[in-house]
Amino acid sequence: MVHVFKYKEYNYIYDSGSGSLHECDDKTYDYLAYKLGESSAKPALSEAEITSIEGDLKALEDEGLLFKEEVKTHPAKSNEVKALCIHICHDCNLRCRYCFADEGAYHSAREFMSEETAKKAIDFLISNSGNRKVLEVDFFGGEPLMCLQTIKNVVAYARAEAAKVGKKFLFTTTTNALLLNDDAIEFFNAEMENVVLSLDGRKEVHDAIRKTVNGKGSFDYVIGNIKKFVKSRGDKHYYVRGTFTAKNLDFSKDVLFLADNGFDSISMEPVVTDIDDLAIKEEHLPAILKEYENLCDEYLARYERGEGFNFFHFNVDLEGGPCLSKRVSACGAGNEYFSVAPNGDIYPCHQFVGDKKFLMGNVYEGRLNSDIRSTFAENCLFTREKCGDCFAKFICSGGCSANNYHFEGDMNKPYGVTCAMMKKRIECGMHVYARKNALKNGVK
Partner 1 sequence: MIKTIAKPAEKKITGCGECRSTCQSACKTSCTVGNQSCERITREENPEKSAK
In the complex with partner 1, which residue's Cβ is closer, 54 or 186? 54
Taking alpha carbons only, the member of 174, 247, 248, 257 closest to residue 223 is 257
Stretch that binds partner 1, among 10-18, 103-111, 175-183, 249-257 (CB under 8 A): 10-18
Spatial separation of the C-alpha atoms in residues 438 and 197, rounded to whole Å: 33
Rg (the chain; Cα; Å): 23
Residue count of the chain, please give it.
Answer: 444
394 lies in the site for partner 1, by CB under 8 A? yes
Residue 4 binds to partner 1 (criterion: CB under 8 A)? no
Q: Is 217 one of the binding residues for partner 1 (CB under 8 A)?
A: no
Exactly one of 51, 108, 315, 374 binds partner 1 (CB under 8 A); that residue is 315
| One residue of 94, 395, 411, 417 binding partner 1 per CB under 8 A | 395
218, 211 Cβ separation under 8 angstroms = yes
Residues 170-209 that bind partner 1 (CB under 8 A): 170, 172, 174, 193-194, 196
Choose, by CB under 8 A, the member of 331, 346, 363, 417 that binds partner 1. Answer: 331
Determine phi and psi for 136, rounding to 5 degrees: -130, 140
Binding residues for partner 1 restricted to 227-266, rule: CB under 8 A: 239, 241, 243
Binding mask 281-300 for partner 1 (x = CB under 8 A): --------------------
Single out the residue of 237, 289, 223, 225 nearest to residue 267, CA to CA: 237
End-to-end alpha carbon distance in the chain: 29
Q: Does 397 bind partner 1 (CB under 8 A)?
A: yes
Neighbours of 261 (CB within 10 A): 14
Any contact of residue 325 with partner 1 (CB under 8 A)? yes
Quick check: 343 binds partner 1 (CB under 8 A)?
no
Site residues for partner 1, 106-145, by CB under 8 A, read 132-134, 136, 138, 140
Please name every residue paired with 87 in a beta bridge, in sequence order, or none if there are none.
140
Residue 236's alpha-carbon distances to 190, 196, 419, in angstroms, are: 10, 12, 31
Q: Kindly state whether residue 24 participates in binding partner 1, applying the rule CB under 8 A.
A: yes
**Does 333 interact with partner 1 (rule: CB under 8 A)?**
yes
- Planar angle of CA 329, 272, 179, nearest 5 degrees: 100
Question: Is residue 88 a contact point for partner 1 (CB under 8 A)?
Answer: no
Report the C-alpha gap between 307 and 390 in whole angstroms. Answer: 34
- Which listed range, 89-97, 117-125, 268-276, 353-361, lies at the site for partner 1 (CB under 8 A)? 268-276
